[in-house]
Amino acid sequence: MADIRLMKGNEVLAEAAIRCGCDGYFGYPITPQSEVMETLMARQPWTETGMVVLQAESEVAAINMVYGAAGSGKKVMTSSSSPGISLMSEGLSYIAGAELPCLVVNVQRGGPGLGTIQPSQADYFQAVKGGGHGDYRLITLAPSSVQEMNDFVDLGFELAIKYRNPAMILTDGALGQMMEKVELANFKPRLTNPEIHEKFGSWATTGKPASRKKNIVTSLVMDSEEMEKNNLRFQKKYRTIEENEVRYETIQCDDAEYILVAFGTSSRVCQKAVEIAREKGLKVGLLRPITLFPFPKKIIKELARRAQGFLSVEMNAGQMVEDIILSVYEAGSTVRVNYFGRMGGIIPTPEEVVEALEEKFSWEISYGVKRSY
């Protein structure tokens, strides 16, 4: 029988981790995501599945514990919120450079600096362009409901392990604090140590049996030629991810003249904005990227051929809009791309989105034709 509950997004992250066979969680408290570790500590999964939960002394330590544990072939994760993710970025770069799988959750809050504890999407660039130093990417998933907060823990791990690359769930304080109906996943057993030896024995620091050479987990290569080769391999992997792992959802895009593009919480707002706009007679649809890296370029290129315009709706100063512009440019289209958003922890209302759409595309709406340059 399905296990259906009413849960907060943050609590669900914890429950999903336990159920998907996660081996360890290392974290540090920060609002608005502290319930993740609190839920884990209350659930005491070490008595049930053997999962380790440890409160680290800092985000820096937490991500390095993840690096150590992930390097040993275990399925491990951490979660934090924006300022904490900045602290973790160096570690993430090492993890990407050493090609280790792990899951990192960013329950975003408004920045820059200490900012606010209210929801935000201002870490889009940080998540999808790397964040730390060097050329690397995080597989970035953007849930828009508590159910997806649940589902993407397992998916994030799956993709991370498949590509030996860190995956990030990029969510925000609203989804973290919100309660919704959620159908929890069934329990999956943790991998046993012999299974880990078998699956990841070619790279994991499990302790070196006589039967194999030593494994060294490192991102250091002193020879630039070799380091370039590594980089080329990473880039090839990222292209493969772009080829195979794009996920998105379209809502009423078939006949849409105007496409709202939004992810996470703002995509929820936009669903309602679509309803309001349609009531007003405007043919509006919504494209919701589910993977932010890889970014759903192809569908944007397709939509660019028939839409009058795109409006990127974000809880930031306009970050994803740059990726939309890039996709539209690659499609050779001159369709206009605009942005609307709120910052500092404010979630736009559906009404504001519709107003912004009407204002930014007033020319097209009045004359019913594409403005060309």
If one asks whether residue 143 binds other proteins (CB under 8 A), the answer comes out as: no
If one asks whether residue 320 binds other proteins (CB under 8 A), the answer comes out as: no
Torsion of CA 114, 119, 123, 127, to 10 degrees: 130
Q: To 5 degrees, how large is the angle CA 38–CA 104–CA 64?
A: 90
If one asks whether residue 223 binds other proteins (CB under 8 A), the answer comes out as: no
> For the sheet containing 139-141, what is the strand order?
52-55, 24-27, 76-80, 102-108, 166-172, 139-141, 291-293
Q: To 5 degrees, how large is the angle CA 187–CA 159–CA 208?
A: 85
Total residues interacting with other proteins, rule: CB under 8 A: 69
| Residues 207/196, Cβ–Cβ less than 8 Å | no
> How does DSSP classify residue 203?
T
Residue 5 Cβ, how far from other proteins at the closest point, in Å? 8
> How does DSSP classify residue 119?
B
Query: Taking Cα atoms as reference points, which of 191, 151, 168 lies closest to residue 17?
Result: 151
Residue 137 Cβ, how far from other proteins at the closest point, in Å? 19
Per-residue contact track with other proteins, 183 to 212, x per CB under 8 A?
----------x----------xxxxxxx--
If one asks whether residue 244 binds other proteins (CB under 8 A), the answer comes out as: no
| Residues 337/289, Cβ–Cβ less than 8 Å | no
Residue 329 Cβ, how far from other proteins at the closest point, in Å? 31
Q: Closest CB to other proteins among 325 and 347? A: 347
> How does DSSP classify residue 107?
E
Residue 364 Cβ, how far from other proteins at the closest point, in Å? 25
Separation between Cα atoms, residue 174 and residue 345, nearest integer Å: 10
Q: Closest CB to other proteins among 265 and 333? A: 265
Tokens of 317: 């100063």
If one asks whether residue 262 binds other proteins (CB under 8 A), the answer comes out as: no
If one asks whether residue 278 binds other proteins (CB under 8 A), the answer comes out as: no
Q: Closest CB to other proteins among 156 and 350? A: 350
Q: What is the CA radius of gyration of the chain?
A: 21
Among the listed residues 22, 30, 36, 66, the single contact to other proteins using CB under 8 A: 66
**Which residues lie across from 313 on neighbouring strands?**
340
Among the listed residues 48, 114, 134, 181, the single contact to other proteins using CB under 8 A: 181
If one asks whether residue 79 binds other proteins (CB under 8 A), the answer comes out as: no
Residue 58 Cβ, how far from other proteins at the closest point, in Å? 6
Among the listed residues 135, 198, 226, 351, the single contact to other proteins using CB under 8 A: 351
Residue 297 Cβ, how far from other proteins at the closest point, in Å? 26
Q: Closest CB to other proteins among 136 and 295? A: 136
Tokens of 321: 């809009």
Among the listed residues 28, 94, 293, 310, the single contact to other proteins using CB under 8 A: 94
**Which residues lie across from 53 on neighbouring strands?**
25
Q: Closest CB to other proteins among 250 and 306? A: 250
If one asks whether residue 23 binds other proteins (CB under 8 A), the answer comes out as: yes
If one asks whether residue 45 binds other proteins (CB under 8 A), the answer comes out as: no
What are the angstrom distances between the C-alpha of 258 and each of 47, 155, 272, 333, 362?
Answer: 53, 31, 15, 15, 12
- Residue 297: strand, helix, or coil: helix
Residue 86 Cβ, how far from other proteins at the closest point, in Å? 15
If one asks whether residue 369 binds other proteins (CB under 8 A), the answer comes out as: no
With tokens 């995956």, the residue in question is 167
| Residues 184/16, Cβ–Cβ less than 8 Å | yes
If one asks whether residue 347 binds other proteins (CB under 8 A), the answer comes out as: yes
Binding site for other proteins (CB under 8 A): 4-6, 23-24, 26, 32, 52, 54, 56-58, 60-62, 64-72, 74, 76, 90-91, 94, 98, 116-118, 173-174, 177-181, 193, 204-210, 214-220, 265, 268-273, 275, 345, 347-351
